[in-house]
Chains A and B, each alone.
Chain A
Amino acid sequence: MAPEPVIEVNGLTKQFGRGKVLAVDDFSFTVERGQIVGLLGQNGAGKTTTLRALLGLVRPTKGELRIFGTTVRPGIAELSRVGALVEGPGFVPHLSGRRNLEIFWRAGGRPVPEAHLEAALEISGLGTAVDRAVKGYSHGMKQRLGFSQALLGSPELLVLDEPVNGLDPQQIVEVRDALLRLAADGVTILLSSHLLSEVEHTCSHVVVMHQGRLIQSGSVEAVTASVASAYLEVDDPEAALRLLGSLRGVTAATTSPPGIVVALSGASRSDLVAALVAGGIAVDTVVARQSLEDAFLQLLEAEKS
């Protein structure tokens, strides 16, 4: 018997108010135990709404969400196995960082020692600032405290919305390392991001969404392999763009100085070179590119057309 997925989302649809705009539209994905899954999309793609629905904060218009095999409803007990950071941290401003985490933990009714408060505060790296009122914290400090809060009580699942937002590059690396360590310990992680590089360097799997809909999901390798692109340096980039843009099997062509990037869907790199040479354009360099960024842009481009 295959182990039960930690998260199952089936046909999630969410419409706010009576407007016709769907924040999330028939969206499905699963997250297996131990995976680090990146929920990737531009701002407004519906990532946060999906995470809120997963935590029982927002009621689906249609569809079903399950965590640990249980249908999500507001306040279900399974949420105590989840650590969350959704749309920025939220703390009582006049209390200290430490007091905030204590109060947060005690509200749930599990014994205080189970929180492993000191270990979580250690991760925040706030030092003596944990005993100062939160209202004096910088955005980055609050974000780090929020990350610590999510880790209280050793959760089995972490749901993190833009976890590195507002952090400086060194802190981003620290968070990334912490996530990889947690995953190595068997914690399942779902994080949302609009930063491709973040997802690419941290996640094992990726779910790409755009305008509320699923574009593609799978392992990072599988998603990047599903699309191909090429970087070329030519003597006349503008002429090359015109020529390649209308070529069969090419999804998109854009400049990427000093060269151009061409997203492929059927055409091979040798097809490109042949077409350019036939068009009288000299080709200097051809490089195969398969980063998640290329894949993402290409998937979005394909969605628009």
Chain B
Amino acid sequence: MIQVEFAKQLRRIRTVVVAAICVVVPVLIGVGSYLSSNDSSGGGGGGDSSLQFATRHAGLVVGIESLSLASFLLIPIVFAIYAGDTVASEAKWGSLRYLLVRPVTRPRLLTSKLVVAAVLAVATAMLIPVVGTIVGVAFFGWHPIQTVALSGSAGGGASLGGFLGVPPVHFVTFSPGDAFARLLLASAYVLFGAVSVLGVSFLVGVATENTLAAVSAGIGVYIVSAIVEAISGLRSIRPVLPTTYLQGWSNLFVPGSAPTAMWHGVVVAAIWAVATIGLAYAVFRRRDIVS
């Protein structure tokens, strides 16, 4: 069933378009970086990351910046499209009822859909840091990278960075192999965080059989979450929002900082995923299939 599902999804134009975007974005970031390396003003504006690099003109930095830039919008869109469309498109084609009468039991159908959507979403989204690294290394070479660490900064998400008091800074160097391993771990963290989007889109797709509604709902979760994060009166619910710890991976490039934010982020994403996917199974079990 999973094999069959792969055969069905891989040849879709949608799959090709999404993958192409995930290749073009890091290539553009790499080219931009390369062009800016020729003018003396240097980089500037490398995403919203709290991460500061001593130089932006290193191969691995392009990979890291690609991940950082994509984590807020492109990666959630990729996850929302794969998860939201998988059941809804089958309903739209009219083939859902035939699969169920084949018979494929409803939980088995959902599981194969979910597994294939998740695998494709992860594989596609991983193109972003991997292509970014390849492009960066092609332009700048496979060199150690240097990050700027604020002394005494431990943990802390995006909101903690600041110039108040101008704390002493020092530079930390990562060997290329170490930096690449950390980039892969950071990517895994960002992608795992996006399972909240995956779950919401999957649930709405199963419940409404409407692709557009499902994809919008998944992306909407990140957008609403980011807005709520910015409203100080709603501070109390920040810990359960899926975007609060999105930048938690930047700690990986700050030695000595505790990975608290990352653990918190993993737990929040897991709760969102279990709740939404569990609900999707419950809804689908009882649903009348009238598509």
Q: Which residues of A contact B (CB under 8 A)?
A: 16, 52, 55-59, 74-77, 79-80, 82, 84, 86-95, 99-100, 103-104, 106-109, 149
Instruction: Choose one: A84, A94, A106; the contact of B4 (CB below 8 Å).
Output: A106
A interface, over-half SS:
loop
Number of interface residues of B (CB under 8 A): 28
Instruction: Choose one: A58, A77, A87; the contact of B103 (CB below 8 Å).
Output: A77
Please measure, in the bound complex, the distance between the C-alpha atom of A86 and the C-alpha atom of B12, giving whole angstroms. 25
Cβ of B3 under 8 Å from chain A: yes
B94 & A91 in contact (Cβ 8 Å cutoff): yes
B interface, over-half SS:
helix
B105 & A74 in contact (Cβ 8 Å cutoff): yes
Cβ contacts A to B, 30 pairs, < 8 Å: A16-B288, A52-B289, A56-B100, A57-B100, A58-B288, A74-B100, A74-B106, A74-B285, A75-B103, A75-B108, A79-B101, A79-B103, A80-B102, A84-B101, A86-B97, A89-B94, A90-B96, A91-B93, A91-B94, A92-B8, A99-B7, A100-B95, A103-B4, A104-B95, A104-B99, A106-B1, A106-B4, A107-B4, A108-B103, A149-B98
- Give the Cβ gap from A114 to chain B, nearest Cβ, in Å: 13
Q: Which residues of chain A are near B98, meaning CB under 8 Å?
A: 84, 86, 90, 104, 149
Which 9 A-B pairs give the minimum distances between C-beta atoms? A90-B94, A75-B105, A79-B103, A90-B95, A57-B289, A108-B102, A75-B103, A58-B288, A55-B101
Q: Which residues of chain B are near A88, meaning CB under 8 Å?
A: 94
Cβ of B235 under 8 Å from chain A: no
Please measure, in the bound complex, the distance between the C-alpha atom of A225 and the C-alpha atom of B3, giving whole angstroms. 55
B97 & A94 in contact (Cβ 8 Å cutoff): no
Q: Which residues of chain A are near B8, meaning CB under 8 Å?
A: 92, 95, 103
Q: Which residues of B contact A (CB under 8 A)?
A: 1, 3-4, 7-8, 11-13, 93-106, 108, 285-286, 288-290
Please measure, in the bound complex, the distance between the C-alpha atom of A16 and the C-alpha atom of B108, giving whole angstroms. 26
Residue on B nearest A58 in the bound complex, by CB: B288
- Give the Cβ gap from A75 to chain B, nearest Cβ, in Å: 4
Please measure, in the bound complex, the distance between the C-alpha atom of A73 and the C-alpha atom of B55, giving whole angstroms. 63
B11 & A95 in contact (Cβ 8 Å cutoff): yes
- Give the Cβ gap from B76 to chain A, nearest Cβ, in Å: 26
Please measure, in the bound complex, the distance between the C-alpha atom of A91 and the C-alpha atom of B286, giving whole angstroms. 24
Q: Which residues of chain B are near A58, meaning CB under 8 Å?
A: 288-290
Residue on A nearest B91 in the bound complex, by CB: A90
Residue on B nearest A93 in the bound complex, by CB: B93
If A91-B94, A92-B8 touch, whether A108 touches B288 (CB-CB below 8 Å) is no
**Most B CB within 10 A of own CB, among A79, A90, A107:** A107
- Give the Cβ gap from A14 to chain B, nearest Cβ, in Å: 9
B95 & A92 in contact (Cβ 8 Å cutoff): yes
**Most B CB within 10 A of own CB, among A75, A79, A89:** A75
If A94-B12, A107-B1 touch, whether A56 touches B94 (CB-CB below 8 Å) is no
Q: Which residues of chain B are near A99, meaning CB under 8 Å?
A: 7
Q: Which residues of chain B are near A104, meaning CB under 8 Å?
A: 95, 98-99, 102
Given contacts A58-B289, A75-B106, A80-B103, 18 further A-B contacts (CB under 8 A): A16-B288, A52-B288, A58-B290, A74-B105, A77-B103, A79-B101, A79-B103, A84-B101, A86-B98, A86-B101, A90-B95, A90-B97, A103-B7, A103-B8, A106-B1, A106-B4, A107-B4, A107-B102
A52 & B290 in contact (Cβ 8 Å cutoff): yes
B99 & A107 in contact (Cβ 8 Å cutoff): yes
Please measure, in the bound complex, the distance between the C-alpha atom of A24 and the C-alpha atom of B194, giving whole angstroms. 44
**Most B CB within 10 A of own CB, among A74, A77, A89, A92:** A74
Please measure, in the bound complex, the distance between the C-alpha atom of A56 and the C-alpha atom of B3, giving whole angstroms. 25
**Most A CB within 10 A of own CB, among B93, B102, B106, B289:** B102
B288 & A59 in contact (Cβ 8 Å cutoff): yes
Instruction: Choose one: B3, B96, B102; the contact of A79 (CB below 8 Å).
Output: B102
Q: Which residues of chain B are near A84, meaning CB under 8 Å?
A: 98, 101
Please measure, in the bound complex, the distance between the C-alpha atom of A74 and the C-alpha atom of B105, giving whole angstroms. 7
Residue on B nearest A82 in the bound complex, by CB: B101
A109 & B1 in contact (Cβ 8 Å cutoff): yes
Please measure, in the bound complex, the distance between the C-alpha atom of A80 and the C-alpha atom of B104, giving whole angstroms. 9
Q: Which residues of chain B are near A55, meaning CB under 8 Å?
A: 97, 100-101
Q: Which residues of chain A are near B100, meaning CB under 8 Å?
A: 55-57, 74-75
- Give the Cβ gap from B284 to chain A, nearest Cβ, in Å: 9
If A16-B288, A92-B8, A103-B8 touch, whether A56 touches B101 (CB-CB below 8 Å) is yes
- Give the Cβ gap from A133 to chain B, nearest Cβ, in Å: 10
Please measure, in the bound complex, the distance between the C-alpha atom of A214 and the C-alpha atom of B254, giving whole angstroms. 75
Please measure, in the bound complex, the distance between the C-alpha atom of A52 and the C-alpha atom of B94, giving whole angstroms. 13
Please measure, in the bound complex, the distance between the C-alpha atom of A205 and the C-alpha atom of B7, giving whole angstroms. 42
A90 & B93 in contact (Cβ 8 Å cutoff): yes
Q: Which residues of chain B are near A76, meaning CB under 8 Å?
A: 103
Please measure, in the bound complex, the distance between the C-alpha atom of A92 and the C-alpha atom of B7, giving whole angstroms. 11
- Give the Cβ gap from B115 to chain A, nearest Cβ, in Å: 14
- Give the Cβ gap from A207 to chain B, nearest Cβ, in Å: 21
**Most A CB within 10 A of own CB, among B96, B99, B103, B289:** B103
Q: Which residues of chain A are near B12, meaning CB under 8 Å?
A: 94
- Give the Cβ gap from B11 to chain A, nearest Cβ, in Å: 6
Please measure, in the bound complex, the distance between the C-alpha atom of A217 and the C-alpha atom of B127, giving whole angstroms. 62
Please measure, in the bound complex, the distance between the C-alpha atom of A74 and the C-alpha atom of B100, giving whole angstroms. 8
B102 & A59 in contact (Cβ 8 Å cutoff): no
Residue on A nearest B288 in the bound complex, by CB: A58
